[in-house]
Amino acid sequence: MSGNIKIKRAGKVVNGTIQLTGSKSECNRALVIEALSQGKVKVQNVSDAADAVKLASILRGNAEQEPNAALLSATTNSPFVAPSASTPEINIGPAGTAMRFLTAYFTLQDGEIVLTGTERMKQRPIGILVDALRQLGAHINYVEKDGYPPLQIKGGFEQLTDTISIKGDISSQYITALLLIAARLPKGLNLQIEGDLTSRPYVEMTLSMLHQAGIKHTWEENIISIESQGFKETSIWVEPDWSAASYWYSVAALADEAELFLPGLTPYSLQGDSVITELMANFGITSQFKDGGVHLKKEPKPVIRKIFDLKACPDLAQTIIVVCAALGHEATFTGLETLKIKETDRIKALQNELGKMGVKLIEKGLVYKLDCSKRFIPEKITVATYEDHRMAMAFAPLALLIPEVEIEDAQVVEKSYPAFWSDFEKAGFTVSA
């Protein structure tokens, strides 16, 4: 759906079966592995999330093309370049994961490209990853602003070193981008992670999927090592998206009664966001794995937990914070360091939108606390989404409490969960323009 949509819900009892799309996080990694394996690895259950569809079209299209030596040009030492008219431009739109993964991927490909995206993408930092790739010997230049896309990438380079360091508390996607290409580097890679590692489960997901493709690694203390090696022939099946599942846990938490079935999800997921089962247990949601999926059920239970550390699962932050605000539960949150450099500044976005129901999200250093002392339930709320899919989906369940919830730019959900609004209708919500 394009434009704004209005959501209403008659009654607070929710039942049904929701078939989720493949995990965007798993799918994006698998697609890069497939491309790097040069056909040895096949990906099954490709996500229909817009980001994954876009990445698949770029990688699979690129893999089918013969390298064009005519596109190679001399590398410049200038920090900014004006690409020639013959240099292909690849626009990944708002797909942050694709921007990071493709930055590393295209350093190994023949030819020269300019990698760009939306205006918001041009505001999202990528300097740490570019610096790391340059240390390895890659040829990357900034087209506009130092430290940000667009990037001019000349593929193919002589590896200068096999050991580099990278900060662990900025974005795990920088680390994943480097790990994905490590086995294709002539000297392999020893990646030293400086400081605390944000979103560790996402790094573990990457290494596990590489292992499925035959790539071995060691991880000792803060150093991950991958030798130069080949991929094996295999197929990688992408599990349904636990991040998408989190919104149904939110629905269950805000309902009076709820029984939902999400097929295909397993208790042994590679996805860090599967921790939503533990987090939502605090709100009375039980998760029973049977019949080839997970059954959610709402059980009456007071919310006692006061501190939520979301460092390992920052994509769940909006979901958990909105649920706490809706229930008037004054919790404290940590591990939100990366939220300001996501699709939008998610901290500021949450503060703005929660303020519309009288709730404050107060920032004190690295700790955030909800103040629900002036919380109220309005007759209607209009939620701005800030070009952020998770803002739309995290606030939509408020329709169980607020008579009318209007979501601006509702189509933003296409980034990770295109069927979200139709699934909402299946679950008994009224969704209209």
Query: pLDDT for 153-168, tens place per residue?
Result: 999 999 999 999 999 8
Query: pLDDT for 244-288, tens place per residue?
Result: 999 999 999 999 999 999 999 999 899 989 999 999 999 999 999
For the chain, what is the mean pLDDT?
A: 91
Beta bridge partners of 77: none
3-state secondary structure 418-431: CCHHHHHHHCCEEE
pLDDT at 196: 87
| CATH number attached to the domain at 5-22+239-432 | 3.65.10.10
pLDDT at 385: 96
Omega before 240 within 30 of 0, i.e. cis: no
Beta carbons within 10 angstroms of residue 364's beta carbon:
8
- In the annotation, is 315 catalytic? yes
- Average pLDDT (311-338) is 94
Query: pLDDT for 101-149, tens place per residue?
Result: 999 999 999 999 999 999 989 999 999 999 999 999 999 999 999 999 9
Say whether pLDDT at 81 is over 50: no
Of 68-82, 288-302, 322-336, the least confident: 68-82
pLDDT band per the 50, 70, 90 thresholds, residue 349: very high
In 3D space, the residue among 397, 392, 385, 398 whose CA is nearest the CA of residue 349 turns out to be 385
Share of the chain above pLDDT 90, in %: 83
Q: Output 188 or 338, whichever has higher pLDDT.
A: 188
Say whether pLDDT at 334 is over 80: yes
Say whether pLDDT at 6 is over 50: yes
Say whether pLDDT at 65 is over 90: no
From the candidates 315, 388, 409, 423, which is the catalytic residue?
Answer: 315
pLDDT at 16: 96
**Domain 24-237, architecture per CATH:** Alpha-beta prism (3.65)
C-alpha dist (Å) from residue 344 to 135, 304, 362, 390: 29, 31, 18, 10
Cα three-residue angle 153-157-163, rounded to 5 degrees: 105
At 31 the three-state DSSP class reads: helix
Q: What is the secondary structure of 66-102 as a DSSP string?
A: PP-GGG--PPP-SSB----TTS-EEE-TT-HHHHHHH
pLDDT at 72: 27
Say whether pLDDT at 82 is over 80: no
Beta carbons within 10 angstroms of residue 375's beta carbon:
18
Query: CATH 3.65.10.10: which residues of the chain?
Result: 5-22+239-432, 24-237
Q: Are 76 and 120 in contact (CB under 8 A)?
A: no
How far apart are the C-alpha atoms of 141 and 130, rounded to whole Å? 9
Residue holding tokens 């400081």?
195
